[in-house]
Structure 1
Amino acid sequence: MARKRIEGTQFTTWDDVDQALREIGEIDRDLALIEGDTNHAIDELKAKAKADSKPLLDRKAALELAMKEFCEANRGEFAKVKTKALTFGSVGFRLSTKIVIRRIGDTVQALKDLGLAQCLRIKEEPDKEAMKSLSAETLAEVGASLRTENAFGYEIDRAKLPEVA
């Protein structure tokens, strides 16, 4: 389990700290139960919504298909205009151009080989792990600094919780 960082707690004995760990473990267990119940309820609601919406989605898809087929059968009416305005909306055809890439890796390499770097997206971001090896002066030059802190954390021994409860 990941260590947790906290600030500002005050106890007088190690037993107080141990009891706080026990209580945190019990709270985590109760929260997990609540979260599980919530997720179960959400899953049930999603399943019900999906079942309730299926007939509507099916009807919508059938109407869209019928509308498309009708418009394609009457395509001659779209020779001079791209869109036909109707009372409750409009229908029409638009010229669409797409780039189809079979293998991304091959295309990227070919673009590089042909010197078409302007057709590539390159995301640049600082590599913080690599920057840890830089000197403080170099970090300052690039607008960064190295901060070291001794952070407190704790771990719950969940196997021992049932013994106490």
Structure 2
Amino acid sequence: MAKKAKIKAVATITACQSLEQVQDFIRHIADKNREVIRLQAKMNDEVAAITNGYTESINGLKQEIEQMTGAVEIWCAANRSKILEKGLKTANLITGEVSWRFSPPSVSLRKIEDVIASLKEKGLTQFIRVKEEVNKEAILADPLAVKDVAGVTIKSGQEFFEIKPFEVDVK
């Protein structure tokens, strides 16, 4: 049996018919925006209450897990030669696995400018990356110079419509 084609109805928007209707709609938009803010605040309060109700139980369980993990690690380290087969790094202990892994080497740098200067001083420029990128600000300053360059398109400022209902800020 062939699938039926889905038909999506396009929402129709009717234009306001008068200045009074525009003003009324803007007032309704402001009312609905405030209601959204109230509902979000209520939702956040409820989430905070739920989170607070579970925090103590979760923290207790995490502490127990941490203690048991430490105990398992101590036992496994003491019995590593017994539980690992030759050359393996993982032991299957029926209810789960334990494994020993080395993290990959990493480089940490402090005072990057000083490190770069030192590498240049010592002729170790192969360890310095030079990043090339297009200077968009320069292109905007002189758009005629790049008008024939493929891949460069300059978009003029685009107009957009915005509604800002008036709100009173109490300070």
TM-score normalised to structure 2 length: 0.68
Match of 1:20 among 20, 25, 29: 25
Runs of at least 5 residues in structure 2 that lack an aligned partner in the other structure = 1-12
Runs of at least 5 residues in structure 1 that lack an aligned partner in the other structure = 1-7, 161-165
Q: Which has the higher contact order (CA 8 A, sep 6+)?
A: 1
The farther-off stretch of 63-72 and 134-143 is 134-143
> Larger helix proportion, structure 1 or 2?
1
Q: Distance in 2 between matches of 1:68 and 1:44?
A: 36
Secondary structure in 2 matching 1:158: coil
TM-score normalised to structure 1 length: 0.70
Does 2:120 correspond to 1:115? no
* Equivalenced residues, count: 151
Aligned residue runs from structure 1 range 12-161, under 5 A: 12-77=17-82, 78=84, 80-81=86-87, 82-103=89-110, 105-106=112-113, 109=116, 113=120, 114-117=124-127, 120=129, 129-135=137-143, 138=146, 141-143=149-151, 144-159=153-168
Residue 35 to residue 112, structure 1, CA distance change in 2 (3 Å): farther
Does 2:20 correspond to 1:11? no
Deviations 1:67-125 (A, max 9, x none): 1111222244359443322112222322334325251625762586221346x595x77
Q: State the identity %.
A: 21
Q: Which amino acid aligns with 2:91?
A: K
